[in-house]
Amino acid sequence: MSETPITRLRTQVGRALILRVAGPDGPDVRRRVHEAPGERWFEPDSAIRQVHSDASMFVGGLRALLLQSLHPLAMAAVAAHSGYRGDPWGRLQRTSAFLATTTFGTTIDAEATIARIRAVHERVTGTTPDGLPYAASDPHLLKWVHIAEIDSFLRAYQRYGAAPLDASRRDAYVADTAHVATLLGVIDPPTTERELAAQLAGYRPELAGTPAARAAARFVIFRAPIPVSARAPYGVLAASAAALLPRWARWPLRLPYLPIAEATVVRIAGQSVVRGIRWAMPAPT
């Protein structure tokens, strides 16, 4: 039976998205991660799989980048070593591969991925423009990156996910991610939603809207190298991510706070774009 125009469109959009997110080998990598025989860290019905397989991760990932940039040491490491300006899609693809492998891949592949990341972290050192030393392997800095990321993924899923989690499942998600964080070198990662909120609050005195952080925010929201055909939906995703930031994070990044627009226009548009991505990229079974 020949494909219908709608099926053909769905396939084309899905392939284009996978190409951007996972690179030219994305379909093969996705198939290998999900279909390779072997034990996994997480069961098919686990909270982490539910969240990380959803299209809301597009919003959560952008929010994580914005929030993480507020830590001067983390931002200095990203600016100096990640190549986010010269190769933003490469950075996205590496992050996507890490999340996919540690969430859905075999235990052997996940452990190998963790080992590679830890080796990379050992080489990422330097000083900020203010002369403060940083090291990507620093457990305190690793924890900031982790909790900012997990808080972002969870909040994006709760707003835009297919089936928002109840309190026990939210705790289960945080606990699942703690397993990966511990193996990466994070000491005492949060295992409940309450602990996650408390640890985030504990970092606030260290956060600041540095020039590098504001430049990164402008790049993520306004200047990412997006094809013309994708600029409108990307703009909606970026606006949705910014709208999920806490109010205290807005001014340091020079992002406006527009509660009425964010609760109506941005939220409705974000739901539409995320549903479109979910339609084009159904979660693996």
User: 209-232: per-residue pLDDT in tens?
Assistant: 999 999 999 988 888 887 787 888
pLDDT for the residue numbered 1: 46
Chain CA centroid to CA 281, Å: 17
User: 84-102: per-residue pLDDT in tens?
Assistant: 565 555 667 778 889 999 9
Buried (b) or exposed (e) across 184-222, using 16+ Cβ within 10 A? bbbeebbbbbebbeebbeeeeeebebbebbbebbebbbe
- Closest Cα to residue 99, out of 61, 44, 141, 139? 61
pTM of the model: 0.90
pLDDT for the residue numbered 59: 94
User: 225-261: per-residue pLDDT in tens?
Assistant: 877 878 888 899 999 999 999 999 999 999 988 889 9
**Can you tell me the distance from the alpha carbon of 251 to that of 253, in angstroms, rounded to the nearest whole number?**
5
What average pLDDT is seen over the chain?
87
User: 134-149: per-residue pLDDT in tens?
Assistant: 898 999 999 999 999 9
Strands (E), 110-217: 125-127, 133-135
- Across residues 54-83, what is the average pLDDT? 88
Q: Which of 28-37, 62-71, 113-122 has the lowest mean pLDDT?
A: 28-37
* Angle ∠(84,149,229) on CA atoms, nearest 5: 50
Higher local confidence (pLDDT), 26 or 129: 129
Share of the chain above pLDDT 90, in %: 61
Amino acid (one-letter) located at 116: R
Ranges of each domain in the chain: 5-280
User: 6-29: per-residue pLDDT in tens?
Assistant: 666 555 555 566 665 656 666 677
User: 157-208: per-residue pLDDT in tens?
Assistant: 999 999 999 999 999 999 999 999 999 999 999 999 999 999 999 999 999 9
**Number of H helices and number of E strands within the chain?**
15, 2
